[in-house]
Amino acid sequence: MSISEKSTFAGRELTLTWLEADVVPQNLKVSQVSGYCLDNDNKVLIVKNDHGWGLPGGHPEEGESTEQSLRREISEEANVTISSFKLLGYVEVNDPQNESIEGRAYAQLRFICRLAEINEFSAEFETSERAFVSIAELPNYITWMATSATGRAQYESFFKAA
């Protein structure tokens, strides 16, 4: 599945494209990794920060592999570990006016993950809450899954894969 839409971020016009894929083109810089993390009851892990509810994830650090970034970010934000993961797809962002480190075209990777350990959670500087919700409830918490064409497509890809 592939779907595109226009969007605005920080006053810049972007084109977002959701692509189901098991590999990312080597010419795209990875700017973000996030996981649709499932527990043993098939509930999805979500985290809350200043922007509201979202999937755990974040930006790769210099020299990190995609797997290292994914594992670190999910652990930092939710105090869980993952046992397995698979690339679900990615959002290709075309941002012609972007002057920051990401560049003008980059990928935001989405993984489907299985959780190995769920440790005690305490609010940290980045994440104020952690919850587990049913797959069907997910768009009620993460609004871009209901309001954005690429967000809906991404959710549908996850729904099929889960």
pLDDT by 10s per residue, the chain, length 162: 789 999 988 889 999 999 999 999 888 999 999 999 999 999 999 999 998 999 999 999 999 999 999 999 999 999 999 999 999 999 999 998 887 777 789 999 999 999 999 999 998 878 999 999 999 999 999 999 999 999 999 999 999 999
Residue type, 99: E
8 A C-beta contact, residue 88 and residue 57 = no
List, in order of start, the domains of the chain with CATH numbers.
2-161 (3.90.79.10)
Q: Which residue has the tokens 């016009």?
A: 13
| Model-wide pTM > 0.85 | yes
